[in-house]
């Protein structure tokens, strides 16, 4: 049976005993008292400063959005949404992050005129649409139940299916006249009490309590797009249901899919990938909406792969979508000589794109290529098309850029006119000189993380990197700096270098951008393409500045190699010994920049030494390969060009 979450235990307890354990207040004896107390105790709904909860007060569209986000425990720290998505919502608005989060998860759409109208009271039919979108985001399977409301014809077409499905799930039941007839009242305003009722019922559908009287817990079903599910059989155990399910059929527990033979696993919340099924040690994490490669479906877990990392995830944190219902797939393609990544989000049926860097020579324009890690590419038939890494994604970030502060400022002015980062070039170069963070990288990082300085945290706290923006309350948790330069220098000195460049730290998986298997991206961001997007900004800036000044681009200026074994020694001379040890690269897939090749006992590379903290080395050398007694330590990376 599916385990009940801690949140659900709160809900069940207070649904049964809420009115008995609370002193009398303005929700005691009201129609939705149990639901209100459940949400209050779960931290989803709060009262007012005077101690009241005002259950009859109408709820605005912004307020309802916030309630839904809290109920679904959505992460508001990483938003891949244009700042001007809605014309009537500004970054300084207190509800900005919540509304943009809901939009990125497919919970809201706004109006055709580009507005969201956050201060309008939400109607019952709009409430129904948002609640159904929330249920869909968790892959809840439901039927369309014929409505028996006397005002069916007054429900707008866009809301009819949501009302039908919510009625089938028991989340909406309508209102009742004195004569017993039911009506829906689609245009009525939604009160705080009604809001508590529908959200509490939604949570009971998402996290159903175990029912000791229910004998058959699992159902085999056939799912067809735009049609109600067809139940093919009911079984007591998960194993029996899986054994009797045919290829395109699924196994349901309650209203959720818990087994498929083939298809996609998509995170429905910020999800952790663990190293074992015991869920004790985590490898990395990803944001909601991201698809991972599904390796195996177990009763209580999924075995998945993201980039080159395999692990286990909690089944309730993922939607299982059978292959015949998938509408799209992420892919890479070539446009004007550059490599563009098109990311498909199955839950919202949405496609987003960014430019990664130059397209590898083996790619053809007009052809789709598929890759889980951004460097191994396959065609539509599954044939291996080639291997190519993006230079800026794998370049060690403690290297120096040749571009001056003035040139970085020129790019900032060119890249996005009137952006709020213009003039910070000196600060990025100062961070490079003082703390060893490549200024071109640091600028690109700030551009991406702060959306050119326009994010609420950047605007209000001079925090360009989201430092300390914890998931539970990113705005309150984010560190405040006196100005941009202070924030840039302190972020480099106190956070980036010690946390992600120094491999003694648990966060560090190589001082390069990387992905969910190596580099900063493993534990900096839940977006698995965070490092690739920043590499794209570096490439744009480098291409613009090198062309303008007639210089060689920094992209591909050196060969790169990665460690293929742990604990690779870096030495002051190209030979083994006891007196020339400098430091170790402790983790595989740590990258180095090759300056020269030396042949001796095997092949050695002179590399760019680390240049931060206590590191200040004139030369550094690493053994690579070719001497049997030493084995192989490094492997050169084929760079896309």
**In this predicted model, what pLDDT tens digit does every residue of 451-478 receive, in sequence order?**
999 888 999 999 999 898 876 677 788 9
| Contact (Cβ atoms closer than 8 angstroms) between residue 26 and residue 52 | yes
| Contact (Cβ atoms closer than 8 angstroms) between residue 462 and residue 486 | yes
Q: How confident is the model at residue 78 (pLDDT cuts 50, 70, 90)?
A: low
* Alpha carbon separation from 289 to 64, 75, 104 (Å, rounded): 21, 11, 9
Q: How confident is the model at residue 15 (pLDDT cuts 50, 70, 90)?
A: very low
The DSSP line for 416-447 is STT-TTTT-HHHHHHHHHHH---HHHHHHHHH
The predicted pLDDT at position 212 comes to: 53
Q: What is the C-alpha to C-alpha distance for residues 301 and 10, in angstroms, rounded to an integer?
A: 24
Please give the span between the terminal C-alpha atoms of the chain, in angstroms, as a whole number. 53
Percent of the chain predicted with pLDDT > 90 = 77
Convert the pLDDT of each residue in 572-591 to its tens digit.
999 998 899 999 998 899 99
| Contact (Cβ atoms closer than 8 angstroms) between residue 276 and residue 234 | no
Three-class SS of residue 303? strand
Whether the per-residue pLDDT at 60 is higher than 90: the answer is yes
The predicted pLDDT at position 475 comes to: 79
Phi, psi of 486 (to 5 degrees): -60, -45
Whether the per-residue pLDDT at 164 is higher than 50: the answer is yes
Whose tokens are 């949570």? That residue is 203
Whether the per-residue pLDDT at 12 is higher than 50: the answer is no
| Contact (Cβ atoms closer than 8 angstroms) between residue 295 and residue 309 | no
Q: 116 exposed, middle or buried (CB, 10 Å; 0-12, 13-18, 19+)?
A: buried
| Contact (Cβ atoms closer than 8 angstroms) between residue 8 and residue 203 | yes
Whether the per-residue pLDDT at 1 is higher than 50: the answer is no
Q: How confident is the model at residue 6 (pLDDT cuts 50, 70, 90)?
A: very low
If one compares 611 and 261, the residue with the highest pLDDT of the two is 261
Instruction: Average the pLDDT over 406-414 and give the result.
Output: 97
Domains (range + CATH), the chain:
32-206 (no CATH), 218-325 (2.30.30.40), 331-380 (no CATH), 405-549 (1.10.530.10), 560-637 (no CATH)
Whether the per-residue pLDDT at 13 is higher than 50: the answer is no
Instruction: Average the pLDDT over 121-141 and give the result.
Output: 94
Whose tokens are 């058959």? That residue is 216
| Contact (Cβ atoms closer than 8 angstroms) between residue 201 and residue 167 | no
Whether the per-residue pLDDT at 261 is higher than 70: the answer is yes
| Contact (Cβ atoms closer than 8 angstroms) between residue 458 and residue 420 | yes
Instruction: Average the pLDDT over 113-134 and give the result.
Output: 96
If one compares 175 and 214, the residue with the highest pLDDT of the two is 175
The predicted pLDDT at position 5 comes to: 44
Instruction: Average the pLDDT over 370-379 and give the result.
Output: 97
Least confident among 91-105, 186-200, 412-426, 476-490: 91-105
The DSSP line for 153-187 is GGS-HHHHHHHHHHHHHTS---EE-TTS-EE--TT
The predicted pLDDT at position 216 comes to: 66
The predicted pLDDT at position 348 comes to: 86
Mean per-residue pLDDT over the chain, rounded: 91
Residues 6 or more apart in contact with residue 384 via CB below 8 angstroms: 376, 377, 378
Cα 293 off chain centre by: 15
Residue 104: its H or E element: helix 96-104
The predicted pLDDT at position 553 comes to: 98
Residue 203: both structure tokens together: 């949570």
Q: Which residues on neighbouring strands pair with residue 225, listed in sequence order? A: none
The predicted pLDDT at position 226 comes to: 82
Convert the pLDDT of each residue in 310-357 to its tens digit.
999 999 999 999 999 999 999 999 999 999 999 999 988 889 999 999
Residue 335: its H or E element: strand 331-335
Three-class SS of residue 546? helix
| Contact (Cβ atoms closer than 8 angstroms) between residue 527 and residue 81 | no
Least confident among 209-223, 360-374, 382-396, 433-447: 209-223
| Contact (Cβ atoms closer than 8 angstroms) between residue 83 and residue 89 | no
Torsion 542-544-545-547 (CA) sign: positive
Q: How confident is the model at residue 17 (pLDDT cuts 50, 70, 90)?
A: very low
């Amino acid at each position: 049976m599916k385990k009940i979450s801690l949140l659900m235990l709160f809900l069940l307890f207070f649904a049964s005993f809420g009115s008995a354990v609370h002193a009398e207040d303005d929700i005691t004896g009201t129609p939705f008292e149990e639901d209100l107390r459940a949400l209050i105790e779960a931290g989803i709904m709060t009262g007012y400063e005077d101690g009241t909860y005002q259950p009859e007060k109408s709820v605005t569209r912004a307020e309802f959005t916030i309630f839904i986000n809290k109920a679904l425990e959505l992460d508001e720290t990483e938003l891949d949404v244009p700042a001007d998505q809605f014309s009537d919502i500004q970054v300084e608005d207190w509800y900005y992050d919540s509304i943009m989060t809901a939009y990125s998860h497919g919970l809201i759409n706004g109006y055709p005129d580009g507005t969201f109208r956050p201060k309008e009271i939400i109607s019952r039919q709009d409430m129904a649409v948002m609640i159904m979108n929330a249920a869909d985001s968790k892959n809840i399977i439901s039927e369309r139940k014929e409505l028996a409301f006397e005002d069916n014809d007054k429900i707008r077409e866009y809301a009819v299916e949501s009302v039908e499905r919510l009625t089938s799930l028991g989340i909406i039941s309508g209102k009742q006249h004195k004569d017993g007839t039911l009506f829906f009242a689609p245009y009525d305003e939604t009160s705080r009490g009604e809001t508590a009722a529908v959200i509490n019922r939604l949570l009971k559908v998402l996290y159903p309590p175990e029912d000791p009287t229910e004998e058959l817990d699992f159902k085999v079903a056939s799912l067809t797009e735009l049609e109600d599910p067809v139940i093919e059989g009911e079984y007591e155990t998960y194993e029996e249901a899986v054994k009797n399910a045919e290829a395109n059929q699924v196994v349901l527990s309650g209203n959720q899919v818990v087994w498929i033979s083939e298809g996609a696993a998509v995170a429905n919340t910020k999800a952790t990938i663990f190293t074992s099924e015991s869920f004790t040690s985590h490898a990395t994490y990803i944001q909601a909406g991201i698809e991972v490669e599904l390796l195996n479906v177990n009763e209580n877990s999924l075995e998945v792969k993201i980039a080159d990392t395999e692990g286990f995830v909690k089944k309730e944190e993922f939607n299982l979508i059978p292959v015949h219902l998938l509408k799209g797939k992420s892919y890479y393609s070539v446009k004007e000589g550059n490599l563009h990544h098109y990311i498909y989000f199955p839950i919202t049926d949405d496609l987003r794109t960014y430019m990664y860097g130059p397209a590898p020579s083996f790619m053809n324009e007009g052809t789709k290529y598929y890759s889980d890690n951004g460097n191994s590419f396959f065609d539509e038939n599954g044939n291996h098309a080639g291997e190519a890494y993006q230079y800026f994604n794998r370049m060690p970030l403690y290297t120096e850029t040749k571009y001056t502060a003035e040139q970085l400022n020129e790019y900032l002015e060119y890249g996005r006119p009137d952006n709020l980062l213009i003039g910070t070039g000196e600060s990025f170069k100062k961070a490079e000189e003082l703390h060893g963070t490549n200024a071109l990288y640091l600028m690109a990082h700030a551009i991406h993380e702060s959306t050119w300085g326009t994010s609420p945290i950047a605007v209000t706290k001079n925090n360009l990197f989201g430092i300390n923006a914890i998931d539970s309350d990113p705005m309150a948790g984010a560190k405040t700096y006196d100005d941009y330069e202070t924030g840039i220098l302190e972020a480099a000195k106190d956070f980036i270098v010690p946390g992600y460049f120094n491999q003694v730290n648990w966060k560090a998986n190589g001082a390069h951008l990387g992905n969910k298997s190596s580099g900063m991206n493993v534990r900096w961001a839940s977006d698995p393409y965070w490092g690739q997007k920043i590499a794209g900004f570096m490439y744009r800036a480098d291409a613009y500045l090198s062309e303008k000044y007639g210089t060689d681009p920094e992209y591909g200026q050196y060969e790169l190699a990665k460690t293929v074994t742990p604990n690779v020694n870096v030495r002051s001379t190209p030979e083994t010994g006891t007196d020339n040890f400098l430091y170790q690269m402790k983790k595989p897939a740590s990258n180095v920049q090759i300056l020269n090749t030396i042949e001796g006992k095997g092949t050695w590379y002179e590399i760019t030494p680390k240049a931060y903290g206590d590191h200040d080395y004139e030369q550094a050398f690493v053994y690579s390969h070719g001497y049997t007694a030493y084995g192989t330590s490094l492997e050169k990376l084929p760079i896309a060009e």
